[in-house]
Amino acid sequence: MMRELLIIVRREKSCDVKNLLSGMGLIYVSKTVKGRGKEGGIGYKTKRGLLMSLLPKTLITTWVEGDLYEEVIKKVIECAHTGFYGDGKIFVVGGLT
């Protein structure tokens, strides 16, 4: 069974994670996205006077066969970990055939 992994990491850790996935023989797609989590983001004023808090992150999507996804998740967490808020999230979309 094929599983899709959606990996959101800090931009400064994205190259490390991509190299890890390539070293494991996985194909991936990456894109820069903006958002915020517990770290709060960066505040700025818009034309309407609203305070927006968005930080650039990297979204990496890869597809994993069988039970290999657990190993991939473990290695990505080790690779992207900084110990601070904002290290990222990993979402598993399962059951793809």
Task: Look at 33-37, 48-52, 53-57 and tell me which has the smallest mean pLDDT.
Answer: 48-52
Domain spans of the chain?
A: 2-96
Residue 97 pLDDT exceeds 60:
no
Tens-place pLDDT, residues 61-86: 999 998 899 999 999 999 999 988 88
Global pTM reads 0.83
Q: Please tell me the predicted confidence (pLDDT) of residue 55.
A: 84
pLDDT tier, 50 (very low <50, low <70, confident <90, very high otherwise): low
Among 80, 63, 82, 51, residue whose Cα is nearest residue 24: 63
Contact residues for 8 (Cβ-Cβ < 8 A; gap 6+): 33, 35, 57, 58, 59, 60, 88, 89, 90
- Return the SS3 of 72: helix
CATH of span 2-96: 3.30.70.120
